[in-house]
Amino acid sequence: MHEFELESHYVTRVEGHGHIKVKVAQDRIEEVRFEIPEAARFFEAIFQGRPYPEISLLASRICGICAVAHSSASLRATEAALGITPSPQTVLFRKLNLAGEMIQSHILHIYFLVAPDLFGVGSVIPLAQSHPEVVRRAIRMRKVGDDLCIMIGGRHIHPISAIPGGYYKLPAIKTLQGIRQSLEESFTDLDATVELIQGATLPDFSFPSEYLSLSHPEEYGIYDGEILSSKSGPTPEAGYRNKITEKVVSHSTAKHVNTEFGPYMVGALARFNNNYEMLSRRAKEAAGKLGLTPPCHNPFMNTVAQLVETWHFTEWAIELIDELCLRGITQEELHYQTSSGQGMGLSQEAFPGAAGKDKPPYQITPGQGVGLVEAPRGSLFHDYTYNAQGLITDANCIIPTNQNLAHIEAAMRDFLPQIWDEEQPRITGALEMLVRAYDPCISCSTHLVEVEFIK
């Protein structure tokens, strides 16, 4: 007979605060909760009344871990709402920037957050003593992704130069080629990482689910495309509300997100399952070595899928750099935009010295737009409505971890009977490991707060 309660306050090595709460009585699971006591930040309310040139700067501040993804989703939503079309060069740079963030974020998760479990230690710090070569490799690999982001946005956390319609400043070909060299050199480290993860034994667990991700006809889509469900097929991004529903659940104030089939999974494993064919050759080889084949229904394998993706994004980044170098980089003329004050009211006539070659301000027409990109942890939606002054009147953001919450709880519930004969600390450890596999990023607390109800 199984009867116990356990709580793990502050699940560590995740980005944000999370609690696990489980109650089992007479072999019956009475309660499984993944709670998030992270302070609410009210970003959607903050967006209201602010002008379009500021929004992506604000949006990246939702999350320092996936600042580029928030910035990109935000720029795409603003452009969709205001009818701005970025140039092919801009799109290439945005894709390259997202690839860089994927690399650094996946390596952070694999080495800093998951690897301590593989070595049986509490953090990466003791590894610096016992396995210095592993820590140095982790630092080296992260740096490649980080440098790529710094080169394009000015810095990784909170990109500076990316604005609606383009970039204020672009890197020189020579800088791109330097990063290309580092990307080439990281193949050796990627091989070593595959070896490291091959040695890990992950729990054998199958939890067949609906997987949701972007899908693009020509590439492993992370910047644009359609929403693809493994169960119901494609939905255009602007129609996301027809596919997913945010709802407030009775035990929690976090809005859980469901499709018509219930909980679903987003993130590396979902992308891998949905878009396997689009992966690069060496990413597929790595998947083969790691025993990852689509469809994979084991959420613990999300970390493995992240490693496979890191292969892909490294190769893809090289391809994108080659394409940019071949095209040549032009500092494009930008439409005139000011900071706080909108393009409105200010004109080049009023400021003859103002950025001479730039085009006049955008003609703002009110409208609504949706921007969907793949953040490292899964599909990220920004949805804005602008008024005629270029100010936001309505905003909605749906972040990956929010979408995974219901799935995390369902998977914990399913997984529990498999481990409940173990000692309690081991059960807690296994559940923490399961949560960590999703790489939850709770700091994106746009509307992601759970509160314990005292009865």
Residues 55-84 that bind other proteins (CB under 8 A): 57-58, 61-65, 67
- Separation between Cα atoms, residue 43 and residue 441, nearest integer Å: 16
Among 169, 231, 289, 426, binds other proteins (CB under 8 A): 169
Considering only residues 79 to 138 of the shown chain, the ones binding other proteins according to CB under 8 A are 108, 112-113, 116, 122-125, 128, 135
User: What does the DSSP 8-state code read for residue 235?
Assistant: E
* Phi, psi torsion values for 221, nearest 5 degrees: -70, 125
Q: Residue from 39, 199, 201, 218 that binds other proteins (CB under 8 A)?
A: 39
* Closest residue by Cα to residue 332 from 175, 176, 164, 149: 164
Helix (H) or strand (E) holding 437: helix 424-437
Contact flag: residue 45 with other proteins (CB under 8 A): yes
The sheet with strand 392-398 has its strands ordered as 367-375, 378-386, 392-398
CA dist., res. 57 & res. 71, Å (int): 7
CA distance 44 to 203: 38
- Specify the residue, 28 or 247, whose C-beta has the smaller distance to other proteins: 247
Residue 451 binds to other proteins (criterion: CB under 8 A): yes
Q: Rounded to 10 degrees, what is the CA torsion of 35, 111, 74, 151? A: 160
Nearest to 286 by CA among 198, 199, 374: 198
Per-residue interface string for the shown chain with other proteins, residues 284-323, x marking contact by CB under 8 A: ----------------------------------------
The nearer residue to other proteins, 8 or 298, going by C-beta atoms, is 8
Task: Give which of 264, 263, 274 is closest to 296, Cα–Cα.
Answer: 274
Residue 443 found at the interface with other proteins (CB under 8 A): yes
Contacts of other proteins in 204-263 (CB under 8 A)? 248, 253
Residues 263, 211: Cα–Cα separation, whole Å:
9
Query: Tokens 């693809």 belong to which residue?
Result: 228
Q: Tell me whether residue 189 or residue 224 sits nearer to other proteins (CB atom).
A: 189
Question: Within positions 388 to 417, which residues make up the interface with other proteins, using CB under 8 A?
Answer: none
Nearest to 316, CA basis, from 180, 154, 162, 146: 180
Q: Pick one of 24, 86, 95, 153: the residue that binds other proteins (CB under 8 A).
A: 153
Q: Which two tokens stand for residue 357?
A: 């070659």
Of 29, 84, 154, 200, which lies in the binding site for other proteins, with binding defined by CB under 8 A?
Answer: 154
Q: Are 93 and 324 in contact (CB under 8 A)?
A: yes
Least Å distance between CB 419 and other proteins? 19
Query: How near is the Cβ of 420 to other proteins at its closest, in Å?
Result: 22
Stretch that binds other proteins, among 71-79, 162-170, 319-327, 366-374 (CB under 8 A): 162-170
Residues 6+ apart with CB under 8 A from 324: 89, 92, 93, 96, 173, 176
Q: Does 454 bind other proteins (CB under 8 A)?
A: no
The one segment of 41-49, 237-245, 257-265, 373-381 that binds other proteins by CB under 8 A: 41-49
Q: Min. distance of Cβ 12 from other proteins in angstroms?
A: 5
CB 392 within 8 A of CB 429: no
Least separation, in Å, of the C-beta of 58 and other proteins? 6
- Least separation in angstroms between residue 240's CB and other proteins is 18
Q: How far is the CB of 25 from other proteins (least distance, A)?
A: 26
Of 128 and 200, nearer to other proteins (C-beta) is 128
Q: How far is 52 from 79, CA to CA, in rounded Å?
A: 9
Please say which residue, 307 or 444, places its beta carbon nearer to other proteins: 444
Which residues are bridge partners to 255 per DSSP?
248
Residues 329-368 that bind other proteins (CB under 8 A): 336-342, 345-346, 348, 350-351, 353-355, 358
Q: Which is nearer to other proteins, 157 or 419 (CB)?
A: 157
Q: Does 4 bind other proteins (CB under 8 A)?
A: no
Return the half-sphere exposure (C-beta side, CA atoms, 13 A cut-off) of residue 152. Answer: 33
Q: Is residue 326 part of the contact set for other proteins (CB under 8 A)?
A: no
Among 155, 284, 297, 413, binds other proteins (CB under 8 A): 155
The residue behind tokens 């060069």 is 89
For helices 302-327 and 132-153, the axis angle rounded to 10 degrees is 40
Number of residues lying near other proteins (CB under 8 A): 77
- How far is Cα 429 from Cα 117, in angstroms, rounded to an integer? 9
- Cβ closer to other proteins: 64 or 178? 64
Rounded least distance, CB 386 to other proteins, Å? 15
Query: Which lies closer to other proteins via its Cβ, residue 232 or residue 253?
Result: 253
